[in-house]
Chains A and B, each alone.
Chain A
Amino acid sequence: MRMLNFTAVLLALSSAFLLYGLNYDTRLIEAKLHAREREAERARADIAVLRAERAHLARPERIEPLAREMGLEPLSARHLLPGTWSDITTSSTAK
């Protein structure tokens, strides 16, 4: 009986210590997690800005004059050879 008591007390004590340690670790991990989350949040914010900037730079209004300066022009029927159309439409991004 005393043996049982002793082990029970021991068990209670050790689990208390274990719990304390676990709790401490958890807080540490949590802090790390928050740091990571903040990092991810910052990265997401940066990505959003970069995406917006990229879209702004790639807006058709700006690309068109640049493309024309390079000698490009809108595709028209006279650029196409008979029978080539289906090849283009099935392989390109159209739709």
Chain B
Amino acid sequence: MLWYKSWLETRSRFLIGLAVMMLTAAGAVLVYPRVMKLLPLANTVDTSGELGRQIREGAELMRSYRGYVWGQWIRQSLTQMGTLFAVLLGSGALLSSASGSSALFMLSMPASRNRVLGIRVATGLWELLVLALIPALLIPVLSPGVGERYPVIDAVLHGLCFFVAAAVFFSLAQLLSTVFNDLWRPLLIACGVAVALALIEQAARGQWTYGIFRLMSGEDYFRTGHVPWLGLLGSAAASAVMLYGATRAIARQDF
């Protein structure tokens, strides 16, 4: 029944996230023919400066359908919205029930705090995995509709890269939710951290080959075909440390 309670608490965020990400995935595939018609225009614009570099890079990626999907959907929509929904799913654990004051009722049950938190985390991670895989798998399913093919293995691997990296933000939000007793501070702080990391990564582009968003978008896999195992392991370890921190914090907490 703890699973059911966790599902009730997170289902609206999860279902909205799933709907939004599926819509963006479907949209990216379905507008592909029209984008291709506009592609020649990219050669006519002034290509100096950062904006120019991005246009040039975008046009270069679009030479292949795989590049288009990665550049337009995985690198942008999946990572940006996915991070937001990972934080949303991670925000609000046992403590945030306290703002709704039902924490005492939960704590009066014969279930340890670790078990309650563990099931809440497991539910959130399961939902995040679905958010990672289902929209990604929609790409190979819809691609024949625009006369293209997209490998299922690419969809699965990009989905998994996204899941493991986004789990870091999920775990951060969980950890913050054991510290703050409202939904908003964990959400805002975790989003702030994500934005800061994205800006640092953007600024260090070209000098630094590591980054959480680079990992999340599976850029190494896209460009070289190699799965970034080291980055995935590092992210999983960071998530594990933060979730362990959350269990320690919740064990000491007074309600």
Do A and B make up one complex? no
